[in-house]
Structure 1
């Protein structure tokens, strides 16, 4: 929870006025964090439930991640008011969040995975239209099978495969910081890598390329 709180406090410095939904699938009690965080954000909602821990154990964390988004969409009063939402994995924050949101014009804004993983999209942070999510991504997590090398990143890629870059890739590359509990590393954006990713998106859009 310490890394999660650090990420949320960073987000509060960047977008205090943006409605935030914090959703946890382990049944965590946010009583100790609510007072501090409610003073940091102007509109904040806490959701907590118990996900299918057995399926998360056997299929992988991507399954649990999908369950969390589904629960939030079904139960959040904040999300009911909007047509689009941005999702960020716990323990991470995006320093150029506002630029990413302001540049969102399509149905989804994903970041493609590195060149050596052409069959994946980055699911740490993305922006998406709710109707698009319900139509194409709502059940993608049910296909996750970590033990056999098929992760949520693969499932999401398959769901948007064949769609034009212009429709599903973000114009701005998220500058992601924070800590990954699953792989145990600290994230910090690379200007060179982000420039390459930006060039890839621009060229793909201009050429009419599809995912």
Structure 2
């Protein structure tokens, strides 16, 4: 099972609505700190950045690992909202990343965060049985896109198409596109699953500019929700 970690980023945001953490030097350090942790897992990383920011700090970090990629380009649609920018990054990556073309399983995460228990969640991913692991919320219409694991074919056959329907002016976000892609894949016989553990996120929210909650109370609450939801989804009642 060939695995790659796909991290998305915007180091120098320009005119992005609803974004509070905007200082490029702070954001660059956020990405650097996160990537350092992801590298410790031993998987190749592709980091795709859409402000065409030339970060010597990140370049030196990733260039020490020849299996990793640091791709950057000038995004054209970020002024429409974060979802449009994220979708543009995903589309660019699938057109230009050699690493993504060569792997079978993609761990997708926002670049400025690290999932402390990512390996434990990955252990439940069996490519012959599962197509995508993601946390569906809000009456299953919204998927937590900060972290999910999927077969590359999920992107090619479902997700990339759904990204074209994102329209923040109509409250259709990246998370809705991910949820809809999951539903379409299930309608064609593919299997989706919730993570069996609450993803413990380390990092700072760019939208709200605060550190993600990862105290013991939030972890216990998250795991309880995950376990109850998994139990409800697999039970038959009639």
Q: Deviations over 1:37-75 (max 9, x none)?
A: 444x5632111112223xx322x2112111111211221
Change (3 A) 1:148 1:7: same
Contiguous gaps of at least 5 residues in structure 2: 1-27
Match runs of 1:1-211 below 5 Å: 1-13=28-40, 15=41, 17-39=42-64, 41=65, 43-53=67-77, 56-58=78-80, 60-105=81-126, 106-113=130-137, 118-161=140-183, 163=186, 166-189=191-214, 190-207=218-235
Change (3 A) 1:51 1:150: same
Q: Deviations over 1:9-58 (max 9, x none)?
A: 22233x1x21000101111213342223444x5632111112223xx322
TM-score, with structure 1 as normaliser? 0.83
Contiguous gaps of at least 5 residues in structure 1: none
Shift of 1:131: 0.8
TM-score, with structure 2 as normaliser? 0.75
In 1, Cα distance between equivalents of 2:85 and 2:228: 30
In 1, Cα distance between equivalents of 2:90 and 2:60: 24
In 2, Cα distance between equivalents of 1:31 and 1:208: 55
In 2, Cα distance between equivalents of 1:173 and 1:69: 24
In 2, Cα distance between equivalents of 1:130 and 1:176: 23
Q: Secondary structure at the match of 1:22?
A: strand
In 1, Cα distance between equivalents of 2:92 and 2:191: 29
Shift of 1:207: 2.6
Aligned length: 201
Aligned CA RMSD, in angstroms, stands at 2.5
Shift of 1:204: 4.2
In 1, Cα distance between equivalents of 2:228 and 2:87: 27
In 1, Cα distance between equivalents of 2:139 and 2:71: 33
Q: Secondary structure at the match of 1:3?
A: helix
Shift of 1:176: 1.3
